[in-house]
Amino acid sequence: MILLASLCGTISAAEPFCGYTEKATVALKTTGGSTLSFRAGIADTTPLHRKGLMDCPSLPKGRGLFFIFPDLSERFFWMHHTNMPLAIVYIGDDMKVVSVQRGEPGSERSLPSGRPVRYVLEINWSEGTGVKPGDTVKVSFD
């Protein structure tokens, strides 16, 4: 019986998306009072920072990729080999949104954070349109 419960838990676990396993929940509390929540994969190494969501055919609703950098610095993202419009949410050390950029599929244009940040969240553009500078971010790791 315990083995069956263990197997069922494994079978029902979320499938990885674009090579990432969901390892965190990222909640954004907007200045308007609503909370947006995303299950996120983690990009916390240089190879994963470079890969991002390149060559990913789609991003499921309610999912995202959370980038963690070792230092506070201005960041520049681009959409090379990315197939869907993304909201690139730049987040400071204080877990406040610094800026949000719209990433167009396949664009080679550099999208700057505008100020030093340590974290970035990539989500579907349609889900990120309500995210604004000053919104608060909370990350819960599994």
**Is residue 110 assigned to a domain?**
yes
Q: How far apart are alpha carbons 142 and 122 in whole angstroms?
A: 19
**Is residue 115 assigned to a domain?**
yes
Query: Which residues of the chain, if any, have pLDDT below 50?
Result: 1-13
**Is residue 9 assigned to a domain?**
no
**Is residue 43 assigned to a domain?**
yes
Q: How far apart are alpha carbons 128 and 126 in whole angstroms?
A: 6
**Is residue 6 assigned to a domain?**
no
- % of the chain exceeding 90 in pLDDT: 85
Instruction: Give the pLDDT confidence score for residue 16 in this predicted structure.
Output: 80
**Is residue 101 assigned to a domain?**
yes
CATH code, domain with 36: 2.60.120.1140
Number of separate domains in the chain:
1
Full residue range of the structural domain in which residue 62 is found? 15-141
Q: How far apart are alpha carbons 89 and 104 in whole angstroms?
A: 14
**Is residue 8 assigned to a domain?**
no
Please report which helix (H) or strand (E) contains residue 2, including its range: helix 2-12
**Partners of 136 in the β-ladder:** 29, 96
Look up residue 111 and give its two tokens.
């999208």
Cβ 87 vs Cβ 124: under 8 Å: yes
Q: How far apart are alpha carbons 103 and 46 in whole angstroms?
A: 20
Q: Return the HEC string of 68-92.
A: EEEEEECCEECCCCCCCCEEEEEEC
**Partners of 86 in the β-ladder:** 103, 124
Q: How far apart are alpha carbons 113 and 91 in whole angstroms?
A: 9
